Amino acid sequence: MDSSQSQPQQQSTNIGSSTGSGSIGAESLSSEGSPPLWRFVTRIEKQGAVGGTWKYRCNFCNENRTSSYSRVRAHLLQIKGQGIACCKKVSRADKLEMQKLDDEFENKKLDSGPREVPLPSESLSHLDSDAMFKKRKSEKSPITRCFGIETRDQLDQEIAMMFYTGGLPFNLARNPHYMRSYTFAATHNIAGYKPPGYNKLRTTLLVQEKANVENLMIPLKSTWREKGVTIVIDGWSDPTRKPLINFMATSGNGPIFLKVVNCFGEIKDKYFIANLMKEVIQEVGHQNVVQVITDNAANCKGAGS
């Protein structure tokens, strides 16, 4: 028998010592995470190896029943239409009290989120508390505590979880902004700071960054008029084998990436390429363009003619 099974039995024998009283609150042997209303019935025998069906005696009406927790709850909270008779001996005050416990439990369930996976450090401590009557000893050395090694480990795990659960590529760890954001947070006193949420990222911050990039391009574009622009076109395939065509504009102060066109499903003949070229030349301003450079693929050569 594993510990998860022995725990509820332990609980039911404890409550069994004061059966029949129907009193509430005297034995509040609530174990974290277990449904709260089990403690108002006396569990006699578990039915089946798996699942949560028990034979039990109601502490209020003393009737024996067999059901799962949801029906225990319906019986005690007098919820009709749940396939079990409502308890007739539960007083109004009892019901209020149990309703409160039930609400708390349901809220907690919602808060914690059913799909939340505990961090490695958390699951260790969880196991520790589950091993009943085991003395919890602090294994942390003063040095560990002093340098916050545990806190660092926990942050590491939290970051790793972000990668795993968000499906982020490990390459992101090489992104300098990734490193810089955490270093910044660690070295500045910004208690209570919350990272930008879904909406802020896709609205305010995105608009801000776009404006920033456009500002940075102003000096590059400044020479377009007097020195002229060269459009450089290159075709390539990305790792997912999408056929892409890059358009760059280069001038006295350096090149600018203009756009990339995904040509999947298109016939890349000379007319198609020529049309793309026309569009780009219009975007840059035809009076600025002095030449177009392509590779010497036949369709690109043809587009120039």
Interface with Zn ion by CB under 5 A: which residues? 58, 60-61, 87
Residue placing its CB nearer to Zn ion in the complex, 62 or 262? 62
DSSP code of 49? S
CB of 62 to Zn ion, least distance (A): 8
CB of 87 to Zn ion, least distance (A): 3
Q: DSSP 3-state assignment of 107?
A: helix
* β-strand partners of 54: 46, 67
Residue 287 phi, psi dihedral angles, 5° rounding: -70, -20
Residue placing its CB nearer to Zn ion in the complex, 18 or 125? 18
Residue placing its CB nearer to Zn ion in the complex, 31 or 78? 78
CB of 71 to Zn ion, least distance (A): 11
Residue placing its CB nearer to Zn ion in the complex, 71 or 268? 71
CB of 84 to Zn ion, least distance (A): 10
CB of 1 to Zn ion, least distance (A): 28
CB of 149 to Zn ion, least distance (A): 53
Burial track 37-67 (b if 16+ CB lie within 10 A, e otherwise): bbbbbbbeebeeeeeeebebbbbbbeeebeb
Residue placing its CB nearer to Zn ion in the complex, 40 or 247? 40
CB of 155 to Zn ion, least distance (A): 49
Residue placing its CB nearer to Zn ion in the complex, 63 or 153? 63
Q: Are 95 and 87 in contact (CB under 8 A)?
A: no
CB of 65 to Zn ion, least distance (A): 8
Residue placing its CB nearer to Zn ion in the complex, 40 or 224? 40
Dist CA 56 CA 75 (whole Å) = 12
Give which of 26, 32, 31 is closest to 9, Cα–Cα: 31
Q: Are 249 and 255 in contact (CB under 8 A)?
A: yes
Give which of 223, 225, 230 is closest to 290, Cα–Cα: 230
Q: Are 58 and 70 in contact (CB under 8 A)?
A: no
Q: In what order do the strands lie in the sheet with 243-251?
A: 254-262, 243-251, 229-237, 289-293
* β-strand partners of 235: 245
- Name the packing angle between helices 3-16 and 120-130 (round to 10°): 40
Residue placing its CB nearer to Zn ion in the complex, 61 or 292? 61
